[in-house]
């Protein structure tokens, strides 16, 4: 059974008054390396969960039949996102996964609208 935690009104109001900064990465692992890439990426998430300043959340979306992984990370500020992009924990991870990847594109994006919780 999954337990949902509902934040208090003050936390919701604070989050809504200061929208996050998003980074989206579209990654195509090399043929035959999809599952290995997903496993390495998941291990990195578990290693860093709750340890990176300014991270609001992240999602990993996979499309095995298309061979694509989409990573979405949200940060409190653009400075938080830049700081993490230079963090050795991130740059060393990029070096580890580089041999598994055919192509990757990182896109800083802005929130156009939102509806509900994903």
Output the pLDDT for position 116: 81
Q: Residue 14: its pLDDT value, please?
A: 57
pLDDT tens for residues 12-60?
Answer: 555 556 788 999 999 999 999 999 999 999 999 998 888 888 999 899 9
Query: Per residue in 60-94, pLDDT tens?
Result: 999 999 999 999 999 999 999 999 999 999 999 99
Domains of the chain: 18-109 (3.30.70.100)
pLDDT exceeds cutoff 80 at 5: no
Contacts of 109 (CB under 8 A, 6+ apart): 22, 23, 24
Rounded Cα–Cα distance for residues 77 and 85 (Å): 13
Predicted TM-score (pTM) of this structure: 0.78
């Amino acid at each position: 059974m999954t337990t949902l935690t509902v934040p208090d009104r003050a936390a919701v109001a604070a989050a809504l008054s200061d929208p996050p900064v998003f980074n989206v990465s579209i990654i195509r692992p090399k043929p035959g390396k999809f599952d290995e890439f997903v496993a390495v990426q998941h291990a990195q998430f578990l290693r860093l969960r709750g340890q990176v300043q300014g991270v609001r959340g992240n999602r990993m979306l996979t499309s095995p039949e298309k061979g694509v992984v989409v990573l979405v990370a949200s940060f409190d500020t653009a400075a938080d996102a830049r700081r993490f992009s230079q963090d050795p924990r991130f740059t060393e991870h990029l070096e580890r996964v580089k041999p598994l990847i055919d192509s990757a594109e990182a896109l800083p994006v802005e929130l156009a609208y939102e509806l509900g919780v994903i």
